[in-house]
Amino acid sequence: MNAIAHTGTPLLYLGFGLLVAVLLAVDFALLRTQGRHKVSVREAALWSVVWIAAAAAFGAWLWWHLHGEYGAEVARRKTLEYATGYLIEKGLAVENVFVWITIFTYFAIPAELQKRVLLWGVVGAIVMRAVLIYLGAVLIRQFDWIFYVFGAFLLGTGIKMFFFTGKTSDLGRNPLLRWLRGHLPITPELRGERFLVTERGRRALTPLFLVLVLVEVTDLVFAVDSIPAIFSVTADPFIVFTANTFAILGLHAMYFLLADMAGRFHLLGYGLALIITLVGAKMLLMDVYKIPVTWMLGAVAAVLAASIAASLLVPPRAPRA
């Protein structure tokens, strides 16, 4: 690895961690002051713009910082890597949102309680991904061939996504959910916004806690795809972590923005499958031809835009009897 393969210093990681903590604290403070309320599409759109603007502002600061430390060329390349990683993660996160819709619908969670679950889900997701990114960086540093493993895994995942997109699953038969229900004391109904209650001198978990667990596990499953995908763009853990984190921070706003119109993006899953397949192929061919980051950024943006436009133009097929 060359001297600029890793731009993150302990001070940068500490500063970024404090920034994320402040942003999350503001989000939780707003949740407390606003109380339980249904997030409107207008409010979700506004917050989506705010989070995207925050990610863009950090990208601008990143360019300024790296320009002063390493020069214009490194600053340009690293900022492009950050933007590409952010766009890949943001696109793949849409699949996350669709699964969350299924979970909330199955448990009949009122819209007023969903933001609380998603905020705690964001906190858990950031912690889990930080651990996975660290492990991925260690593996890459120790074993150069791990890129081929990541590439083969992503290629297989992308192909599998083509066949499973649009298919529904029975959440009631989920092995994890069945195990939790069989081994933990759970109240039959919700208890407001509480995850844990004490009734008749006995502690019990609420269905809202089960939803939180499923949200966290879902994100962990998707992280196994998305983190190797970003490592195909850059081996710099700081870029991977910051791009991932900013994409996740705005995920709950994206959920409320898409919740009422998820069915309209019925072809987006195929676009995401194509992105995963392209990323896997890029990793497998890296010793044959190194695809420029600008090409990857353009390809990801074009595929996402095309799949969204096609979803809006082509109506979904009517379900078979």
- pLDDT for residue 60: 96
Report the distance separating Cα 34 and Cα 52, nearest Å: 22
The 8-class DSSP code of residue 234 comes to -
Structure tokens at 272: 């995401």
- pLDDT for residue 67: 93
| 49 three-class SS | helix
Q: Are 283 and 154 in contact (CB under 8 A)?
A: yes
Q: Are 262 and 105 in contact (CB under 8 A)?
A: no
Radius of gyration of the chain (CA): 20
- pLDDT for residue 182: 81
Among candidate residues 89, 77, 22, 5, the one with its CA nearest the CA of residue 52: 89
- pLDDT for residue 196: 86
Query: Cα–Cα–Cα angle for 24, 195, 116, nearest 5°?
Result: 30
Report the distance separating Cα 315 and Cα 188, nearest Å: 39
- pLDDT for residue 1: 38
Residues lower than pLDDT 70 in the chain: 1-5, 35, 165-172, 260-263, 316-321
- pLDDT for residue 321: 42
> In which region does residue 35 sit, left (phi positive, over 0), alpha (psi from -120 to 50) or beta (all else)?
left
- pLDDT for residue 66: 93
The whole-angstrom distance between residue 38's C-alpha and the CA centroid of its chain comes to 23
- pLDDT for residue 3: 46
- pLDDT for residue 51: 93
User: Where are the alpha helices (H) located in 107-145, listed in sequence order?
Assistant: 111-142
